[in-house]
Amino acid sequence: MTLATAEHILTLERTLPVAPAKVWRCWTEPALLVQWFCPKPWGVSEAVMDLRSGGRFFTHMVGPNGEQAPNEGVFLELVPGRKLVFTDAFQAGWVPAKPFMVGEITLEDTAEGHTRYTARALHWNAEDKAQHEAMGFHEGWGVATDQLLALAQTL
Question: Do the Cβ atoms of 32 and 18 come closer than 8 Å?
Answer: no
pLDDT at res. 1: 37
CATH of the domain spanning 10-152, picked from 3.30.530.20, 3.40.50.300, 3.90.110.10, 3.20.20.70 = 3.30.530.20
DSSP letter, residue 37: S
Give 76-94 as a 3 state SS string.
EEEECCCEEEEECCEECCC
pLDDT 10s digits, 123-142: 988 888 999 899 889 999 99
User: Which tens digits make up the pLDDT trace of 30-48?
Assistant: 999 999 999 999 999 999 9
Q: What is the mean pLDDT of residues 62-91?
A: 95
Which residues, including other chains, have CB under 8 Å from residue 78's CB and lie 6 or more apart? 51, 52, 53, 84, 85
Average pLDDT, the chain: 93
Q: How far is CA 14 from CA 20, 67, 116, 140, in A?
A: 12, 30, 6, 14
How many angstroms separate the CA atoms of 108 and 20, rounded?
7
Q: What is the pLDDT of residues 3-24, one digit of tens each?
A: 455 788 999 999 999 999 999 9
Domain ranges (residues) in the chain: 10-152
